[in-house]
A = this chain, B = another copy of it.
Amino acid sequence: MGKITFKLEGGGESTIFATPGETLLGLARKANVAIDAPCSGNLSCGKCKVQLLSGSSDSQKTIHIDNAQWDAGWRLACACSVEGDAEILVPDVASAYRSRMKVSDLSSPDELAVFNSLQASMEEAGLTKESGIFSLPVRMDAPTPDDTMPDIERIARAVRGATGAGKVTLTYFALKQLPNLLRANNFALRCICERREDTVEILHLLPIADTHPVCGLAVDIGTTSVSGLLVDMESGKILSKASAGNGQIRYGADVIHRIVEQQKPGGIDQLQKSIIEETILPLIDLLCAGAAIPKGRIYRMTVASNTTMNHLLLGVDANALRMEPFIPAFFHIDAIPARDLGIELAPSAMIKISPNIGSYVGGDITAGALAGMIWNRRELSLFIDLGTNGEIVFGNKEFLVACACSAGPAFEGGDISCGMRAIDGAIEGCVIDKETTEPSFSVIGGEKPVGLCGSGIIDVTAELFRTGIINGKGKFIRDGARVKFDEFGIGSFTLAFAEESATGREIVINEVDIDNFIRAKGAIFSAILTLLGSLGFSPSDVRHVDVAGGIGSGINIRNAIGIGMFPDLPLNKYRFIGNSSLAGAYAMLVSKAAEEQLLKLSKAMTYMELSVEPGYMDSFVAACFLPHTDERLFPSAKTL
């Protein structure tokens, strides 16, 4: 047994004894050492690099490690075991997550465009902005020997008078504040109240002069990315917006890996801790700092997330989700006190979770469909959400059918060696000159590029294909200044040379990346085709396509069609609606009517299990080609 010492770049070390053949990734997990491993050890993401400081290793060289790195002792932890004692340097994952956190600049016109348009369509659909939570200043008479009613009845009388409520109650936390606060403020207080039918509950008490807004929190928990909004619940105004990587990513990039991980002893707690303590709590801190609002003024939190993510958020065993017959623990659940999850907001803050409709169509999709307004149209519409899972909803006012496909994390920059989320430095658009093969980019933030986000990958793939640099199988077939082939004959395209990039390192996309991406886009297209076909429809019956996802500020639909990801429909039928899951969580936060509509919509939505649908696998295989093995499906591809 060798003694393995993990030295953490962020400080500290951890020692564990290894039996021969154990991978460093496995050992690190046993030793509770965090290593970034989105592909969970299938050698595809290249993100679990560690450096062997001493000792000898048995490792496989992969495309993710160049010769200089190899010589310096860098290895993929998932592909490396050591013999005898060894010292291993582990890069600071926490800092990587911190650096991936981002507060949005709300002064940028793009940032709030989706929400402004959402507010307009909510109004149109009759979903009034009325959350039920409101602030109420009340002035009471001080007690006298002739008026000795208890404090609680005094304040209830005042609130009843001001609101017309039949019954007024007070939370335990407000009760604890009551006697002191009343007397310190001459019996004039600001009550934060929640109305539920005929009852008003006093959630919190403040001095009457307190001017902080009554806040709520909308959170979209994706498998790869998490986004949040801090909202003034009375006006609906967005006070701050931020995003972060999902801390669970070190347990695997997709939901299946996460579920496998949570099956291990203590695994559920670990995954729950990871999403809450490593991701949501820092995100909340960021949102609150961004708007200068104390956490204690957040009175409600809404969450939109896929079925696995909401199970793991609650620490509910998700194993039955991945085993035939794929059973979730819940679709809809009542609100849960935030503090039961270790999320300290206002003491009585409740978390409401957007309902799931199937094991692989979760609250992110129902929330997204709510925000996309597909339920409010007469014409047949398609709603496509590009996340780690791709989900498709088809229908109109009369019916809604949904399905999911496993696209992998490519749309969020995972499984792509130079991939990243759609934050500053991400290439989000690309054109390649057919003559010179020189690329030009649009980069988020406008500076030099760092990597490639989802919309960028679509453009790069489409452009490499259009310019004949790669063929329909995604293999490199044309030489050029930026095209290289390694010792295994695997081709790659240098998007940015070292001096062109923000990091001083080359940004390269290779055949493995392109192959991962082709499978992702093939999964989406074949899911659309199978869903429509099973109901007797074809793409030409579709009148509207809403495309959602946190893949960038937009998506080049022409390119997405060009590579065979979306049906070949006129461009004006498409609309990019951004992160619709977050938009739905926002709607649910500020509007009780929207919350009710969401529940109604989720009950009406039918779930189709693609994996048991005959023909889906054949359709998927046929779609793993640029644009498609059946060119007739993409007549306009030739005109690119």
Contact = CB atoms under 8 A, between A and B. Distances in A.
Contact of A176 (B169, B183, B314, B319): B314
A325 B314 CA distance: 48
A234 interface: no
Contacts of A170: 333
A292 interface: no
Contact of A152 (B153, B172, B326, B330): B330
A183 B263 CA distance: 14
A143 interface: yes
Contacts of A325: 143-145, 148
Given A144-B325, A148-B325, A148-B327, 7 more contacts: A149-B327, A151-B327, A153-B331, A170-B333, A172-B314, A172-B340, A179-B320
Contacts of A331: 150, 152-153
A6 to B, nearest CB: 32
B152 A324 contact: no
16 contacts: A143-B325, A145-B324, A145-B612, A148-B326, A150-B331, A151-B320, A151-B327, A151-B328, A152-B331, A153-B330, A170-B333, A175-B316, A175-B330, A176-B314, A179-B317, A179-B318
A180 B268 CA distance: 12
B179 A316 contact: yes
Interface centre among A172, A180, A320, A329 (most CB of B within 10 A): A329
Nearest to A149: B327
Interface in A302-331: 314-320, 324-331
A71 interface: no
A334 interface: yes
A478 to B, nearest CB: 49
Contact of A327 (B150, B315, B318, B329): B150
A604 to B, nearest CB: 16
Nearest to A340: B172
A298 interface: no
Which of A172, A328, A612 has the largest number of chain B CB atoms within 10 A? Answer: A172
Contacts of A145: 324-325, 612
Interface in A160-186: 169-170, 172, 175-176, 178-180, 183
Interface string A588-622: 00000000000000000000000010000000000
Contacts of A356: 150
Nearest to A180: B317
Contact of A330 (B151, B326, B337): B151
Interface in A27-44: none
Interface string A125-152: 0000000000000000001110011111
Contacts of A502: none
A336 interface: yes
A151 B273 CA distance: 24
A308 to B, nearest CB: 13
Contacts of A329: 150-152, 175, 178-179
Nearest to A332: B152
A180 B356 CA distance: 20
B324 A176 contact: no
Contacts of A150: 327-331, 356
Contacts of A179: 316-320, 327, 329
Contacts of A612: 145
A178 B327 contact: no
Contacts of A153: 330-331
A327 B143 CA distance: 8
A608 to B, nearest CB: 12
A324 B142 CA distance: 12
Interface string A567-597: 0000000000000000000000000000000
Nearest to A357: B150
A170 B336 CA distance: 11
Interface in A91-148: 143-145, 148
A330 to B, nearest CB: 4
A495 to B, nearest CB: 45
A176 B331 CA distance: 14
Contact of A172 (B169, B180, B317, B336): B336
Contacts of A336: 172
Interface in A453-499: none
A336 B144 CA distance: 29
A360 to B, nearest CB: 12
Interface in A271-323: 314-320
A551 to B, nearest CB: 30
A324 B144 CA distance: 8
A67 B150 CA distance: 51
A320 B183 contact: yes
A131 B595 CA distance: 34
Nearest to A337: B172
A318 B179 CA distance: 8
